[in-house]
Amino acid sequence: MASIHSASAISESAFGCEHLAALMLNEKAAGQFKGDFMKTHNLLTRSPKPVESLLLQSMDLLRPKYVCLTCSEPCVNGDRKTHTEKTGHQFYMESRSRSLYCQACDDLVYDYGLERFRSPTLKYQVSKNRPHSEVAADEIYVRNNANKRPCTRQGARGLYNLGQTCYMNVILQAMLHDPLLSTYFLGNGHQTYDCTVPDCVGCAVAETFYDFNNTEKVEGFAALNLLLASWKASPALAGYRQQDAHEYYQFLVDRLHATADDHLDDNDQNCPCFFHKAFYGKLRSSVTCHQCGNVTLTEDPMVDLSLDVQAKKRVMGGSSATATATLSGCLESFTSPERLMAGVYNCSGCDGTQQKATKQLRIKKLPSILSF
């Protein structure tokens, strides 16, 4: 169920989160915050030799530390909440990636202005309207390492079609090549030998990962156990009829989430399980009244984004043609403001009367794995 509340007209796209927005709108507080932000960034960037301070010693550990921007106190993940409750300080910098962390959001946040303030020279244009920055070395590292798994077999293995099961095979091929899921299942994240759930979809997926990464086999293989488990879990999938791959992906994510011992069914709570963190994000919809400026916010969980792949860019009041449809362009169109038709929005700030309004979608929280 979506959570709905009203807020004053603060531009969601201008800041990393609403808590940072409230701070940065105060000129004096914003200046102090930027100073603390750069001081912490420079301290974490400094060469860790010789190791003299507790902060630099903590950087040598594998576990990341969260450095308070206000008092420079390093905290581990479990101590961060206690430090905030004791001092009221809620913004931290993660020691390894130098990313900003908001304790009130309990998540990393990205703020375009702060990133430009931190690295003003790393700029290039990816479109006519949107500047972007990225370190070239990062792109090279990802390209060279994203698909390599040195502890497993290399190369491709096919999946046998078991009778119009292409919808399942295409989803499996995408998951089997994902490094996060490979680490989880090959690392005994789902303990198949201890699982007592009959016809468990999680066990069937784990067996598929084991079979796919078997270094002694090079021929194709059939995910028969997963197909049978899917049929028993959802009678609508049973049989050899054609099915929709997108719907099967949603089914599989839902069933995997249900197999986790620590999962929560209530979407309004922060589920701590692996699959919720891997697949579930949050989508925020804001509707702004043209008459009084009242903003109504709605947040919903998401496991994928359905994008319009036509070569058009949605703009205020209509759409304009572009040369080629790109993922960046589709995302820009998805998050662009859109005027609502007259008579479809009743504004709570105008005593429930119908008013003209603008709607905008934003991704509030990204999952580790996002499907388009």
pLDDT at res. 101: 92
In whole angstroms, what is the distance from residue 20 CA to residue 41 CA?
17
Q: Residue 328: what are its φ and ψ, rounded to 5°? A: -60, -40
| 194, 218 Cβ separation under 8 angstroms | no
Collapsed DSSP state (helix, strand, coil) of residue 102: strand
CATH code linked to domain 280-315+325-365 = 2.20.210.10
Count the neighbouring beta carbons within 10 Å of the beta carbon of residue 165: 23
Of 61-75, 150-164, 230-244, 257-271, highest mean pLDDT: 230-244
Cite the residue boundaries of each domain of the chain with CATH code 3.30.40.10: 13-44+64-120
Q: Where in the chain is the domain with CATH 2.20.210.10?
A: 280-315+325-365
* Cα separation of the two ends of the chain: 22
Whether the per-residue pLDDT at 221 is higher than 80: the answer is: yes
Task: Determine the Cα–Cα distance for residues 256 and 263; give it in Å rounded to an integer.
Answer: 10
What percent of the chain stands above pLDDT 70? 76
Residue scoring higher pLDDT (360 or 10):
360
Q: Is the pLDDT of residue 86 over 90?
A: yes
Q: 47-51, 116-120, 286-290 — which is least confidently predicted?
A: 47-51
pLDDT band at 115 (very low <50, low <70, confident <90, very high): confident
Q: Which of 245, 250, 231 is nearest to 168 (CA)?
A: 245
Helix (H) / strand (E) element for 4: namely strand 3-7
Distances in Å between the Cα of 282 and the Cα atoms of 104, 175, 210, 302, 359 are: 16, 21, 32, 6, 17
pLDDT, residue 3, reads 35
Structure tokens at 25: 């709108």
| Token code pair at residue 170 | 């295409």
The CATH fold assigned to 13-44+64-120 is: Herpes Virus-1 (3.30.40)
